[in-house]
Amino acid sequence: MTAATLSPTLTDRLMDQRILFLGEEVNEDSANRLVAQLLLLSAADPLSDITLYINSPGGSVMAGLGVYDTMQLIPNDVATVAVGFAASMGQILLCGGAAGKRFALPNAQVLMHEGSAGIGGWAADVEIQAANLVRTLDRLRRIIARHTGRPLDEVERDVGRDR
């Protein structure tokens, strides 16, 4: 069952408890829904924590960074919990939780890896796209380093190993 197929009643009950659930790939729809929910919960009570449960194989980096930026923007602490699988952009969102409020359930799996993209077209276009990919991957590594307190060179080594 994905978050998109959760009944409105269930979603409302979770929202009443300040709980959000990402149970699908990160895409424009799931990211926009999470951003809206974060903003609503923050507007209703800017002091209380929000908990985001994550069971996601990852997905769109740009959509996920929109969720990440919103988590950092709002005054609330966002606690993050890995449930099942938090990979790729799911791992970045997990990492973006408030310090001391990032968790993984005992049987959850968290996967950090080097991102990839399908690049094609004219040589000049490929060069531009490749440079953009390098900048984006560097941004993701810096996010991981900032939230984990690990040196950037250590994060760079680990990211290349599907850890």
Instruction: Please identify every residue annotated as catalytic.
Output: 88, 113
Cα(80)–Cα(105) distance, rounded to whole angstroms? Answer: 11
Cα(110)–Cα(75) distance, rounded to whole angstroms? Answer: 26
Residue 38 exposure: Cα atoms within 13 Å on the Cβ side: 27
Cα(122)–Cα(64) distance, rounded to whole angstroms? Answer: 28
Q: Which position has the token pair 């009443």?
A: 16
**Contact 71/39 with Cβ under 8 angstroms?**
no
Q: Which position has the token pair 């209703």?
A: 44
With residues binned 3-state (H G I as helix, E B as strand, rest as coil), the percentages for the chain, rounded to 5, are: 50, 20, 30
